Amino acid sequence: MGEYDRLRWRCRRGLLELDLILQDFLERRYAELDAEHRGLFGELLDAPDNDLLDWALGRSEPTDARFRDIVRLLRAG
């Protein structure tokens, strides 16, 4: 299984809304990311579902400043 396939599997979460946001981002934007942002996206997927959903919907910001750019891209779709 390649890295993209592993990420696609990790984008499947317990919240349908989050699944849709993450999978859409992976399909539409992931290929455009540089190596640093690809790594950050993988790390971002380690966050709890509720935090990820809040970040993606703009209800809160990640406390780790390293994730702010990738979350901004996630929000932009």
Maximum alpha-carbon separation in the chain: 34
Contact 37, 66 (CB under 8 A): no
Digits of tens for pLDDT over the chain (77 positions)? Answer: 788 899 999 999 989 999 999 999 999 999 999 999 999 999 999 999 999 999 999 999 999 999 999 999 999 97
Spatial separation of the C-alpha atoms in residues 2 and 63, rounded to whole Å: 30
User: Domain range holding 24?
Assistant: 3-76
Alpha-helix residue ranges (DSSP H) falling in the chain: 3-10, 16-28, 35-44, 49-56, 68-76
- The model's pTM: 0.90
How many structural domains are present in the chain?
Answer: 1
Write down the pLDDT at residue 1.
72
> CATH number, domain at 20?
1.10.150.250
For residue 12, count CB atoms less than 10 angstroms from its CB and return exposed for 0-12, middle for 13-18, buried for 19 or more: exposed
